[in-house]
Amino acid sequence: MRRLALPLACSLALVGAVCDAPSVAQSTKQPPVPNGPPTPVLGVWQPAAGLTQLPIWPGSPPDGTLKPQPPESVQTFKEPLEFGGKSQAVLNIAIPTMTIVPPKGRNSATAVVVFPGGGFQKVFIDLEGFEICDWLTARGITCIVSKYRVPGGNDYWDAGLKRQITPKVLRALQDAQRTIRLVRSRAKELNIDPGKIGVMGFSAGGYLVAQTSNILSPAYKPVDAIDRVSSRPDFAVALYPGHMCRDGGKSFDPRLSVTKAAPPTFIAQAWNDPTDPICNSLMYASALDKAGVPTEMHLFAKGGHGFGLRKKDEPVGVWPQLVERWMTQIGML
**Taking residues 223-243, what's their average pLDDT?**
97
Alpha helix segments (H runs only) across 216-301 = 279-290
Q: What is the pLDDT of residue 35?
A: 52
Higher pLDDT, 119 or 249: 119
Q: What is the pLDDT of residue 36?
A: 57
Q: What are phi and psi of 71, to 5 degrees?
A: -60, 160
Among the residue ranges 153-167, 203-217, 290-304, the one predicted with the least confidence is 153-167
Q: Is the pLDDT of residue 19 over 50?
A: no
How far apart are the C-alpha atoms of 136 and 247, rounded to whole Å? 36
What's the mean pLDDT in 240-249? 92
Q: pLDDT tier at 118 (50, 70, 90 boundaries)? A: very high
Does 33 score more than 70 pLDDT? no
Mean pLDDT of 273-288: 96
| Contact predicate 190/232, CB 8 Å | no
Name the percent of the chain in helix, strand, coil, to the closest 5. Answer: 25, 20, 50
Average pLDDT over all residues of the chain: 90
